[in-house]
Amino acid sequence: MAASSETMLKKPHVGKKRKPPTRYWERTEEDGKNDGKKQKEGDNNEQTPQQNNTRTKKGGKRGGKRGGAGKKVISGKSDPFPGSAPVPEEKLKKFRRGVKGELPPRPQYKLRDVVIRSEAASDLAQKQNARYDLMLPEDAGFLEGDEDEDTCTISQDDIVDAVDITAGAKYFNLTLSQFGPYRLDYSKTGRHLLLGGRRGHVTCLDWQSKQLMCEMNVMETVNDVKWLHSEALFAVAQKKWLYIYDNKGIELHCIRKFNDVLRMQFLPYHFLLATASATGFLQYLDVSVGKEVVAICTKAGRLDVMAHNPHNAIIHLGHSNGTVTLWTPNQREPLVKMLCHQGGVRSVAVDKTGTYMVTSGMDKKLKVYDIRAYRPLQSYFLPAGASCLSLSQRGLLSAATGDIVQVYRDVWGIPVTKPYMAHRAKGSVWGVHFCPFEDVLGVGHGEGFTSMVVPGAGEPNFDGLDANPYRSAKQRQEWEVKALLEKIQPELIGLDPSQLSQVDHSTWEQRHEDRVQVLGFDPLAKEKFTPRLKTKGRSSSGKVEKRKKQVAHEDQRDVIRQTVEDRMKIDKERKEKEKKKAAAAGQKSALDRFRK
């Protein structure tokens, strides 16, 4: 702009002026304008001065907006970027919370002022968040093949060869053929890995530095393993009971109330460990106080398919009759029952935003549901059927079919025909899990564990106050205290987590009912009329009846009077309205004389 403005300042002493170099920030608008003009006029000679005019005008406008920031200074230069930088609309949308309501009317000026101020504050916050989002340091990973090449044919070795050493080191195999097959879990920060072999081998390690934290054999069948809120504790569902170990492998608790547990899910913001057992019980353990919150008998047989919705902490259970049920600790019946498959359900996964649920069943189908509307979106047929499903933070789906792990991209968008990536593990796959904040998929199988690189799986930018993979011990301690302080009570789990902030538009009847329930009696209930006992024959049954009738009639009269008054009021209002309408209609027409 500097160059262009200088040329503008100089009077064009030659008839034809050189066109100033275009800048990228001017390009789009000007191109559009130029095109339009070309089509209209088709005259090149006319164009140059006009274009010049438009630009000077625009410059003036912009300068006016920000109190002369875009104006020329003495040196003849002007600010090439006048005004505050624009924020893209999509970014703003990402940080929008709720919808703007209408402003209260002017007479309620105090409330109006409060609303205006708070909306201005939230707008500012939204804008600042969006700005900050533009400056996040890391970009997500990706994998693009050649023009006619499928990305699923690219092997792990190719990727490892192509990327840098540290990223390449994330592809590795652990050969543990003795106690497999393995189930696995990554900690919330994605730093630590927990492996549990079916025949009792339990180990946890810092998988990035490959440091072993503990390794042991519990000498019992291990059904599932799960990290608790931090990498200091983990739960192991063993043959009979649920055990809790610390990261040195010391058994801290054996919880005998939780028997025959097959699957576990941990709700990190509620500090709840949800377990599904072979006896059909769904149990919740509050790990911060060590108490069982609730045990729900689902009456649905053996529960070996389980997932949780990270958006609203609702537990999804898959059953052998093809249904998926949704549970909270506050209700003994399922919130929702969905018939998803014709055979049994083999695996369920829910995405991070709580919008999509992916299920796979014995009917060899893979289905995608919108769980806000409980609507099927896509249905795929996998020849071998998927045994384990896992969704990554950025929405990649991994499905294990036999010993092959396939990764799909955008399963809920346009129907997918080919997987994004595929990898053959050494044994049949027992558990898959995406690592948070890394482009890594952990695969537990019969011959051990494979960590495979899946570009574009993990969220590139973590939040340091929520889950920081690089946190120090001190930071972890502080985080733990904060997290415990804001532990959400299990009563607050529901389908819509934002319900708490909405205005409770309960009706008067509803409020009255609540009040009656709290008080134990109805404060507004009318006392039943009991006629006083009068002497000297005035309390004969006939007289008593008469008095009762009198009172009843009086009450009835009140009601009638009220309704009549109401009706008259409505009538009056209607008439006035009509009158106004007639007045508004105004002009008399010649045909009015025929009206009655």
Partner 1 sequence: RGMLSDSRVFDAYENRKSKSFIHIHAMKVKVLSRNPDDYVRETKLDIQRVPRNYDPSLHPFEVPREYTRALNATKLERVFAKPFLASLDGHRDGVNCMAKHPKSLSTMLSGSCDGEVVWNLTKRECVRTLQAHEGFVRGMVVRFCGTSFFTVGDDKTIKQWKMETPGYGEEEEPLNTILGKSVFTSIDHHQKEGVFVTCGQQVDIWDEQRSSPIRSFSWGVDSFSCVRFNPVETELLASCASDRSIVLYDMREATPLKKVIMNMRSNTLCWNPMEAYNFTCSNEDYNLYTYDMRYLDRPFTVHMDHVSAVLDVDYSPTGKEFVSASFDKTIRIFPKDSGHSRDVYHTKRMQHVISIKWSSDNKYILSASDEMNIRLWKANAAEKLGLLAPREKAAVNYSQKLKEKFQHHPQICRISRHRHLPKSIYSQTKELRVMKEARRRKERNVRKHSKPGSMPVVTEKEKHVVTVVK
Is position 476 an interface residue for partner 1 (rule: CB under 8 A)? no
- Give the nearer residue to partner 1 in terms of CB position, either 159 or 276: 159
Give the DSSP per-residue string, 373-384.
TTEEEEEEE-SS
Q: How far is CA 30 from CA 24, 77, 78, 429, 516, in A?
A: 10, 21, 19, 58, 69
Query: Residue type at 259?
Result: N
- Distance between CA atoms of 199 and 239, rounded to whole angstroms? 10
Q: Which two tokens stand for residue 470?
A: 């690089």
Least Å distance, CB 466 to partner 1, is 6
Choice from 426, 487, 512, 547 touching partner 1 (CB under 8 A): 487
Q: Which two tokens stand for residue 385?
A: 């059927």
Q: What angle do CA 497, 493, 412 make, to 5 degrees?
A: 55
Choice from 132, 257, 506, 511 touching partner 1 (CB under 8 A): 132
Q: Residue 454 contacts by C-beta under 8 Å, 6 or more apart in sequence?
A: 392, 396, 398, 407, 420, 421, 434, 439, 440, 441
Is position 407 an interface residue for partner 1 (rule: CB under 8 A)? no
Least Å distance, CB 564 to partner 1, is 14
Least Å distance, CB 139 to partner 1, is 7
Is position 403 an interface residue for partner 1 (rule: CB under 8 A)? no
Sheet holding 192-197, edge to edge: 182-186, 192-197, 201-206, 211-217
Least Å distance, CB 483 to partner 1, is 10
40 backbone dihedrals φ, ψ, rounded to 5°? -70, -55
Choice from 119, 138, 522, 555 touching partner 1 (CB under 8 A): 138
**Binding to partner 1, residues 311-350 (CB under 8 A):** 311-313
Positive or negative: CA dihedral 494, 498, 500, 504: negative
Choice from 116, 162, 252, 560 touching partner 1 (CB under 8 A): 162
- Distance between CA atoms of 97 and 47, rounded to whole angstroms? 46
Size of the site for partner 1 (CB under 8 A): 68
Q: Which two tokens stand for residue 422?
A: 């595929």
Choice from 166, 517, 541, 587 touching partner 1 (CB under 8 A): 166
Decide: 275 and 317 in contact? Cβ < 8 Å: no
- Give the nearer residue to partner 1 in terms of CB position, either 439 or 447: 439
Least Å distance, CB 249 to partner 1, is 27
Decide: helix, strand or coil at residue 535.
Answer: coil
**Binding to partner 1, residues 259-318 (CB under 8 A):** 269, 310-313
- Give the nearer residue to partner 1 in terms of CB position, either 182 or 420: 420
Choice from 142, 381, 508, 521 touching partner 1 (CB under 8 A): 142
The candidate with the shortest Cα–Cα distance to 527, out of 559, 551, 550, 543, is: 551
Positive or negative: CA dihedral 419, 421, 424, 428: negative
Is position 508 an interface residue for partner 1 (rule: CB under 8 A)? no
Least Å distance, CB 131 to partner 1, is 10
- Give the nearer residue to partner 1 in terms of CB position, either 39 or 166: 166
Choice from 159, 294, 315, 349 touching partner 1 (CB under 8 A): 159
Least Å distance, CB 335 to partner 1, is 17
Choice from 460, 516, 539, 548 touching partner 1 (CB under 8 A): 460
- Give the nearer residue to partner 1 in terms of CB position, either 138 or 513: 138
Q: Which two tokens stand for residue 221?
A: 């069948």
End-to-end CA distance of the chain: 76
Interface region with partner 1, contact rule CB under 8 A, candidates 155-163, 365-373, 544-552, 582-590: 155-163
Choice from 139, 509, 527, 592 touching partner 1 (CB under 8 A): 139
- Give the nearer residue to partner 1 in terms of CB position, either 466 or 566: 466
Please name the residue that has the structure tokens 């040196």. 75
- Distance between CA atoms of 307 and 281, rounded to whole angstroms? 15
Residue ranges of E strands in 260-403: 261-267, 272-277, 281-286, 291-297, 305-308, 315-318, 323-327, 336-339, 345-350, 356-361, 365-370, 375-381, 388-391, 396-401
Interface region with partner 1, contact rule CB under 8 A, candidates 40-48, 156-164, 366-374, 562-570: 156-164
- Distance between CA atoms of 156 and 405, rounded to whole angstroms? 12
Choice from 47, 51, 95, 198 touching partner 1 (CB under 8 A): 95
- Give the nearer residue to partner 1 in terms of CB position, either 178 or 477: 477
Q: What angle do CA 542, 548, 554 make, to 5 degrees?
A: 135
Choice from 262, 336, 492, 516 touching partner 1 (CB under 8 A): 492
Is position 97 an interface residue for partner 1 (rule: CB under 8 A)? yes
- Give the nearer residue to partner 1 in terms of CB position, either 503 or 585: 503
Least Å distance, CB 434 to partner 1, is 12
- Give the nearer residue to partner 1 in terms of CB position, either 354 or 427: 354
- Distance between CA atoms of 380 and 422, rounded to whole angstroms? 17
Is position 357 an interface residue for partner 1 (rule: CB under 8 A)? no
Is position 143 an interface residue for partner 1 (rule: CB under 8 A)? yes
Is position 88 an interface residue for partner 1 (rule: CB under 8 A)? no
Q: Which residues bind partner 1 (CB under 8 A)?
A: 94-95, 97, 129, 132-133, 136-146, 149, 151, 154, 158-159, 161-164, 166-167, 170, 269, 310-313, 352-353, 437-439, 453, 455, 458-466, 468-472, 474-475, 485-489, 492, 497-501
